[in-house]
A and B are shown apart, each in its own frame.
Chain A
Amino acid sequence: MNKVMFFAHLRDKVGKECLLIEASGKTVAELKAEITKEYSLDKMDTVMTAINEEFAGNEEIIQDEDVIAFIPPVSGG
């Protein structure tokens, strides 16, 4: 199982700070697509992903027990 955490407006959209999802073997891009569909989110192309607190690209493959965080870049200042 994988713990998937959401930040900023993604957290509001999903309605929870984190979810438990079986994502091992999937790429980051696949997980993004799945979540986008399930929670009718906007495209997550530019949302940054951390796996176990380390930046991960869209092609990276998720392992069992990995903790994933989705962090949307924001532009206010």
Chain B
Amino acid sequence: MKDRYSRQTLFPGIGKKGQEKISQKHVLIIGAGALGSGNAEVLTRAGAGKITLIDRDYVEESNLQRQQLYTEEDVWEKLPKAAAAKKRLNAINSDVEIISIIGDATPEVLEDQIKGIDVIIDATDNFETRMAINDISQKYNVPWIYGACVGSFGMSFTIIPGKTPCLNCLLRTIPMQGMTCDTGGIISPAVQMVIAHQTAEALKILAEDYESLRNSFVSFDLWRNQYTSMKMSKAKFSGCLSCGDNRTYPYLDRDSMTKTMLLCGRDTVQIRPPVTGEISLEQLAGQLSTLGYKVKGNPYLLSVEMEKERMVIFKDGRALIHGTKDLTHAKSIYQRILG
């Protein structure tokens, strides 16, 4: 198909040379939910050489409103997102090699996949994985593009090792109780706006037009009509453990990860977050009951009835997920609620 990329090569920022470069590059997309689906579709249509997609979930009905690669059939078949995405992406552009990995993007998995990657796209739903991506990016000198959204609000920032500050410079710690799509809801336009920012930056990196990268941290609210672009030149933190002089890559360490443990004979998984702190059970209870979950609580814990499972969350962030023996699934449920 000679004409396939003609409109993209006519665009002066890319041209024939840029297209040639794009076609030789390998993109790693972490997560195949809303942001993952959209990023993967744009870059598959744009003719990236290879795309590796990692995701641990399967397709559910509540995904269809915004996760553009999936269909009702995928829901009936309970297909893993990584598998359903590969099927659809292959149908869109057979020139692009799609590698799908069904599983959790742990530091070990990231270390296994990083070789030969030109850019990492963040499409996860939690900060623990983002901090691991951030450390991998610094350790192997591969750029990554942060993107996140909730409600009508979204944000993105491009992190280039050695040039820009990193995510750990900005946050210094993993935020507890970050708003997630399962607690704050989400509308598709917010997703699409983040995807647009991420994929434009990814195309610049793939076409090697580094001069055109954005440098600033963007955030916007499409319902409240707010848009802000924050300059980041002063944000680099010299003592940063991920990108500073005495770096240790703390988030690649097993001890910094959420611990999951199957409780013997109880059909229950215990989840322990990497940082302990106080979460506001009252606020969480309010959010969850607005969303229609049945919530019961006391000053020490909160019990949430979910479709199949029941989750009990303690004040220090520890949780028990009753009704499952699947560690990855339990962690997924936990991070959907607590970020």
Partners in one complex: yes
- With contact pairs A55-B217, A56-B234 given, residues A75 and B226 touching in the complex (Cβ less than 8 Å): no
B264 adjacent to chain A (CB < 8 Å): no
Interface centre among A50, A57, A69, A73 (most CB of B within 10 A): A73
**Which B residues, 131 to 178, have Cβ-Cβ distances below 8 Å to chain A?**
147-151, 153-155, 165, 170-173, 175-178
Of the candidates A7, A46, A50, A56, which one forms a contact with B175 in the assembled complex, judged by CB atoms under 8 Å apart?
A46
- With contact pairs A7-B219, A54-B233 given, residues A77 and B31 touching in the complex (Cβ less than 8 Å): yes
Cα–Cα, bound, A53→B234 (Å): 11
A11-B224 in contact (CB<8A) = yes
Cα–Cα, bound, A73→B127 (Å): 9
A8 adjacent to chain B (CB < 8 Å): yes
**Which A residues, 56 to 73, have Cβ-Cβ distances below 8 Å to chain B?**
56-57, 69, 71-73
**How big is the B interface, by class?**
35 or more
Distance (whole angstroms) from the CB of B291 to the closest CB of chain A: 14
Distance (whole angstroms) from the CB of B244 to the closest CB of chain A: 14
A75-B125 in contact (CB<8A) = yes
B235 adjacent to chain A (CB < 8 Å): yes
Of the candidates A9, A46, A69, which one forms a contact with B171 in the assembled complex, judged by CB atoms under 8 Å apart?
A46
Cα–Cα, bound, A76→B151 (Å): 9
A75-B127 in contact (CB<8A) = yes
Of the candidates B149, B165, B234, which one forms a contact with A76 in the assembled complex, judged by CB atoms under 8 Å apart?
B149
Cα–Cα, bound, A69→B126 (Å): 23
B150-A55 in contact (CB<8A) = no
B-binding residues in A (CB < 8 A)? 5, 7-9, 11, 17, 42, 45-46, 48, 50, 53-57, 69, 71-77
